[in-house]
Amino acid sequence: MKKLSFLKSTFSLVLVLTMSILLVNCSSSSNDDDYLPSTGNTFNPTDFALTIRKTELNDGNKWMMSVYYDLKNTSQISYNKYEQGSFNIRFTVKSTDGTIYQTVTIIPYIEAGVTVGDFTYLDAVNNTKTLDPATLTAVIEKQ
């Protein structure tokens, strides 16, 4: 009987140690937090500056347009959608027959004062339409 009692206490001790190690590992902060902004400051659409660099119809396909743009964080703090709210850019363009097409791009993490270059596509899905680059608009909005 003493041998069985010894095994039970040893097993219990191993179980308690394992649980303690898991608890400490799960509750400690991860290294992922090192690059995130330190505050929960709110952002507004005016904290970003959007500049459209170039628009082009793709390879002569008048129903598909590429939009190249720069997005700058004009605030004094880094933007992280998980801490300051989610923002996106809504691109809208009309076809020559007046049909409206849109695409939405989520704004990623951007450090304070940094400009990020990116691109997106707008397409009419129907290759009989012709998109009019002169009607392109882009609006930054809070989700």
| Per-residue confidence band for 109, with pLDDT thresholds at 50, 70 and 90 | very high
Confidence check: pLDDT of 14 > 50: yes
Question: For residues 12-34, b (16+ Cβ closer than 10 Å) or e, as one string?
Answer: eeeeeeeeeeeeeeeeeeeeeee
Distances (CA, A) of 18 to 7, 25, 27, 104: 16, 11, 14, 47
Q: What does the pLDDT look like over 20-64, one tens digit per residue?
A: 554 444 444 444 443 333 345 678 899 999 999 999 987 667 888
Is the Cα dihedral 30, 40, 85, 54 positive or negative?
negative
Give the residue-averaged pLDDT of 128-142.
Answer: 92
When the pLDDT of each residue in the chain is averaged and rounded to a whole number, the result is 79
Cβ atoms < 10 Å from Cβ of 141: 12
Give the global pTM.
0.68
